[in-house]
Amino acid sequence: MSLSDKLVADMKEAMKAKDKVRLATIRMVRAAQKEAEIDRHKELNDEELMEIIVHQVKMRRDALPEYVKANRADTVQQLQEEIKVLKGYLPEQLNEDEIRNLIRETIEHTGATGPQDMGKVMKDLMPGLKGRADGKLINQLVKEML
CATH class of 96-145: mainly alpha
What phi, psi does 80 have (nearest 5°)? -65, -40
E strand or H helix that includes residue 52? helix 46-69
Give me the pLDDT at residue 145, please. Answer: 85
Per domain, the residue ranges of the chain are 3-87, 96-145
Which CATH code for domain 3-87?
A: 1.10.1510.10
Residue 95: Cβ-neighbour burial (10 angstroms; 0-12, 13-18, 19+): exposed
Residues 45 and 34: their CA atoms lie apart, in Å, by 12
**What pLDDT, on the 0 to 100 scale, is given for residue 82?**
96
Let me know if the fold of 3-87 is the same as that of 96-145: no
DSSP 129: H
H or E element, residue 137: helix 135-145
Q: What is the pLDDT along the chain (146 residues), one digit of tens a residue?
A: 899 999 999 999 999 999 999 999 999 999 999 999 999 999 999 989 999 999 999 999 999 999 999 999 999 999 999 999 999 998 888 888 999 999 999 988 888 888 888 888 899 888 888 778 888 888 888 888 88
Query: How far is 92 from 129, CA to CA, in rounded Å?
Result: 11
Measure the CA–CA gap between 124 and 63, rounded to whole angstroms: 29
* pTM score: 0.78
